[in-house]
Structure 1
Amino acid sequence: MTTQIRRGWRKSSFSNNGGASCVEVNFIGDHVLLRDSKYLRNPDNDPTTQPQISIPADLWTVFCDHSTDPTTQATAGMPTIDRRNDGWITVSCRDTGVTLVFTPGEWAAFIAGIQAEEFSLVVA
C-alpha cells in the first residue's frame, strides 16, 4: 500500500461564509502549518507575512486530540490552546511568539473537520 502526505492549504468543509473565517491547515514535509483565514480579509495585510504556527507532524494527532478533547494531555513542543470563557480560542507558539485567535464558530468547524477525518495527515 502506498501512502502520501496531503498537501495544500485546506479548511474544514464545515466552515461557513465561504471559508472567509476559518482555521486553515497545510501539510509541509515533517510539519503541519496552521493559519487564520481572517488575516487575508484585511487588504492592508501582506499575504507573504501571514502568521502561521508550525506543528511537528509527529505531534499532529496529539494536537488534534487535544483540540477536540481538552482533557487530553498536551505534549511538549506543541502549541498551547487557550479556551476562553467567551468561547474564543487562542492557539499560541511559545518558540515563535505567534498567536492565532479563532471565533467559536471557526473552532467548531475545525473540530467537526477533525472528527470527520478531513485533516488526517496521511491518506492512502
Structure 2
Amino acid sequence: MNTAASSTQPTTGWFKSSFSNPSQACVEVRFSDRAVYVRDSKDCGEGPVISVSGNAWSTLLAEVAGRLPVGTSGTIRIVHRTDGGADLQSLPARSLTLSYTAAEWDAFVAGVRAGEFDLPHSAQPAA
C-alpha cells in the first residue's frame, strides 16, 4: 500500500459529501483505476493531494466510520484535533498533511457512513 503526494492533479471527477454545505470547503475525493486521490477544496485545486491504493482506501473508510480503530491504516494517519477538526497525514514519513475543520470533517464522516465514498466497482481491489 503506497501513499504518495502528487503535484499533478486530475482536473475532473472530484466530488465531496452530499452532507457538505455547497459553499463550504471540504474533503474532496477522486477515483481512478489505479488509486484514490484526496485533497482539500480550500486549496482550490492548487494544493497537495494524497493518493492511496483501493485497499488502503477501504481501510481508511473503515477507520473514519468507526468500524476499525484509528491507527489501523499504515498509509494515512487520522489525527483528531481538540477543535473537532481532523488532519490526514501520509505515512510513513508524514510528509503531507491535509487539515480539515470540524464542519468539513463531520460532513466527510457522514458521507462515509452513508456509503458515498465507497469504491466504485471498477476501482475495487483485486481479490
TM-score range, shorter-chain basis? Answer: 0.7 to 0.9
Q: In the alignment, does 2:16 pair up with 1:11? A: yes
User: What is the letter of the counterpart of residue 12 of structure 1?
Assistant: S
Residue 14 of structure 1: SS of its match in structure 2? coil
Aligned residues: 109
Moved over 2 A (4+): 70-73
Identity of aligned residues (%): 36
1:54 to 48, 51, 54: 51
Q: Which runs of 5+ in 1 are unaligned?
A: 1-6, 41-46
Displacement of 1:60: 1.2
1:42-70 alpha-carbon deviations (Å, 9 max, x no partner): xxxxx4x4211111111211100111227
User: What is the letter of the counterpart of residue 102 of structure 2?
Assistant: P
Displacement of 1:73: 5.0
Displacement of 1:98: 1.4
Q: Any conservation in 1 of the 2:70–2:78 contact (CA below 8 Å)?
A: no
Q: Any conservation in 1 of the 2:20–2:107 contact (CA below 8 Å)?
A: yes
Residue 92 of structure 1: SS of its match in structure 2? strand
Q: Distance in 2 between matches of 1:60 and 1:91?
A: 12
Q: In the alignment, does 2:67 pair up with 1:64? A: no
Larger helix share, 1 or 2: 1
Q: Any conservation in 2 of the 1:92–1:100 contact (CA below 8 Å)?
A: yes
Displacement of 1:80: 0.6
Q: Which runs of 5+ in 2 are unaligned?
A: 1-11, 123-127
User: What is the letter of the counterpart of residue 11 of structure 1?
Assistant: K
Counterpart in 2 of 1:44? none
